[in-house]
Amino acid sequence: MDQMKIINIKLFYFYPNTAKNLLLCRIETDNGLYGWGEAYVVLGKEKSVEQYLIGIGEHLVGRDPFAIRHTVAAMYNDFAARRGSADFFSAISAVEMALWDIVGKYVGQPVYNLLGGPSRERVRVYANGWYDVSFGDDDSPDGMARRAIRVKKMGFTAMKFDPFMRSPWRNVITKQEEDAAVVMVRTIRDAVGPNVDLLIEMHRRLSPFYAIRFADRIVQYNPYWYEEPCIAENISLLKQVKDAISFPVVAGETMYNRYEYLSLFESNAVNIINPDVCSCCGITGLLDIATMAEPHHILVSPHNYNSTTVALAATVHVSAVISNFLIAETFVNLKQVCDDVVKQPIIIDNGFIDLPKSPGLGIDFDLDRLNLYPYQKVKKQFPVKSVAQYQDEFPKKDDFIYVE
């Protein structure tokens, strides 16, 4: 049998009309097989990831798709000169999962069977993105509660949200911001009842003092976890919070390879990690990190601020295999438009996804439909996250106007 070779990589720019832009790639081989990958992108930095994919793509031609680990290592060592970045790791993640898709199709097996086989029949997922404006209502506690009830009616038993909503990400919070966030958690808990898991997202914003004080105030509402209360690059800050509160601390979405996770594990600074398959060197990257976490009794909950197509499929395949899996993320506000561009949408049933039976990742696109959403060609862009002026920073006079 002739050895299969990579002959091309194509990029697809997906504007889903909500949340953020998405960047997909398709790697093609000389025998007609192709595989899909997806890179993690943030607003305003899509072009940097695109350029990495273009540069990496030049070195893929002629390679064996089966040589997945060597390809990833060689790109890091030689192409990136061991100078990794979030954008590089996101690009190589897309390439890596596309290669697994090809290999799975070649041997006629779903990817999870090639990773050691399933450890569970289905994968539990939680809802994020449900507080997007597309779900209606406003950002008030009552408006958020109504949205949360809709998510519960969709069958989800777990949902994540940032109770500080549109507040800037800073180490300090005002009394008004903290009080409003407590009301937000309480109102959503009252709306959904005691049997829905509430995952509290903090977006790396607080110093340990404020993070611990806020955790103490919401513990009565039975939060499922506390995600990135402090910046993860300073592991000692996370450990201060983890050692002081009584519910789990999560971190890891801003770590992109196993070297970065090593210190996190050795410091015993978290209970749960949330690496993203689209930015942590792909499927084998996520699998390696999960394996490293297991001896430390740390659970894995894959982050997935990506599409509900390739990224969610890849997340499901890895989640099916790892023994220390907890729950995975999905963005419900992206589901409708993502379902519109794939041939067989991923089905979420009461907060669970059954393992796919199709070879590879089990995802393929209707290119005619996908090409209706090309954010570069039609010049559609989301506004880039605003950057504060010095006049906007704390403390401001209005921060100390209290209503008795």
Strand spans (E) along 136-291: 158-161, 197-201, 225-227, 249-251, 272-273
Residues with Cβ within 8 Å of residue 265, at least 6 apart in sequence: 292, 293, 296, 298
Burial of residue 393 (CB within 10 Å: 0-12, 13-18, 19+) is exposed
Q: What whole-number distance in Å separates Cα of residue 311 and Cα of residue 381?
A: 21
Cis check for the bond before 395: say yes or no (omega within 30 of 0).
yes
Number of Cβ atoms within 10 Å of the Cβ of 227: 25
Could you please report the per-residue DSSP string of 307-366?
Answer: -TTHHHHHHHHHHHH-TTB--EEEEGGGHHHHHHHBSSPPP-BTTEEEPP-SSBTS--B-
Among the listed residues 59, 296, 303, 317, the single catalytic one is 303
Which residues make beta-bridge pairs with 330?
127
User: Is 317 a known active-site residue?
Assistant: no
Helix (H), strand (E), coil (C) string for 174-212:
CHHHHHHHHHHHHHHHHHHCCCCEEEEECCCCCCHHHHH
Among the listed residues 59, 203, 296, 297, the single catalytic one is 203
Q: What whole-number distance in Å separates Cα of residue 365 and Cα of residue 130?
A: 25
User: Is 303 a known active-site residue?
Assistant: yes
DSSP state, 6? E
3-state secondary structure of 235: helix
Q: What whole-number distance in Å separates Cα of residue 264 and Cα of residue 244?
A: 17
Q: List, edge to edge, every strand of the sheet that includes 6-14.
A: 6-14, 22-29, 34-39
Q: Which two tokens stand for residue 229?
A: 């209360």
Give the active site residues: 203, 303
